[in-house]
Amino acid sequence: MSAVDRLFEELRTRGQKAFIPFITAGDPDLDFTSTLLKALVRQGSHLCEVGIPYSDPIADGPVIQESYTRALSAGVALSDILEMLRQTTPELAAPVVTMVSHAIIYRQGLRKYVETAKQCGVAGLIVPDLPVEESGALREICQEEDLSLIQLVTPNTPRDRALRIVAASSGFIYYVSVVGITGERKQLPEFLHENVGWLREQTDLPICIGFGISSPEQIRLLAPIADGLIVGSAIVRRMAHDGEQSGSTVLQDVEEYVKTLIEATAGC
């Protein structure tokens, strides 16, 4: 049982939903990423998702793409990100998973990446560009190391394919709420409840909804059908200040914003 499995087992016992923030590693630097992770968990985040910057992300909108560009331009390296996590995760009362391109994992070597990630306190991998047909080797290694391999189901995923993805996943299912890329949305699609309801009938894995979520109202709307809510672009956008704000000001802004989302999650 991975740390992600244990978390959702505990939350289900307590009748709680998970709040899952996404942040980009190294934006604006790794020291701030470490500080932000601690702040997010201190506010009550149940699990944190850390994006590994990549030059050609597959599903990310402009806000997260720009954060990746800022981090890469500053020279952030994978080894430095993992070392930051190695030092930070022991201080966190919440698991950390990474959103990472399969190209990065492949270049490192599947087993080497998984073993190193585990040694650095990573509890799971979200690999958005890994087709389910090609996931077997990575899945076996993750199972051996008790790391969750979290895979995505989208509104466009045919149901027979969704079943294969569910069977190949562990930790939780990442349900993409909208067609398209990441980014804040004022409205979420009407078919969302129906699609998630069908998916819930197919698996006992927790279902966490991401993409487009940015407000307490949206969280209260989706919490009844979800086991967790993922918020990324709305948090990352607050990191893209113009240089006039201090790090402490940015941190306070993010903490205050996240607090409103966690309170909405707790009230469901």
Tell me the whole-structure pTM to 2 decimals: 0.92
DSSP-assigned beta bridge partners for residue 174: 152, 208
Residue whose token pair is 């113009």 = 242
Instruction: Determine whether 184 is an active site residue.
Output: no
| Residue of 49, 66, 204, 217 marked active site | 49
pLDDT tens track, the chain, 268 positions:
899 999 999 999 999 999 999 999 999 999 999 999 999 999 999 999 999 999 876 666 788 889 999 999 999 999 999 999 999 999 999 999 999 999 999 999 999 999 999 999 999 999 999 999 999 999 999 999 999 999 999 988 999 999 999 999 999 999 998 654 444 445 555 678 889 999 999 999 999 999 889 899 999 989 999 999 999 899 999 887 644 556 788 899 999 999 999 999 987 6
Query: Half-sphere exposure of 38 toward its Cβ, with a 13 Å CA cutoff?
Result: 11
Report the alpha-carbon angle 207-208-214, nearest 5: 155
Where are the chain's structural domains? Answer: 3-147+214-266
Report the alpha-carbon angle 8-14-20, nearest 5: 45
CATH architecture of 3-147+214-266: Alpha-Beta Barrel (3.20)
Burial class (CB in 10 A: 0-12, 13-18, 19+), 31: exposed
| Residue of 5, 27, 29, 60 marked active site | 60
Q: How does DSSP assign 193-226, residue by residue? A: HHHHHHHHHH-SS-EEEESS--SHHHHHHHGGG-
Instruction: Determine whether 49 is an active site residue.
Output: yes
Query: Is 268:223 a contact under the CB 8 Å cutoff?
Result: yes
Residue whose token pair is 């289900």 = 12
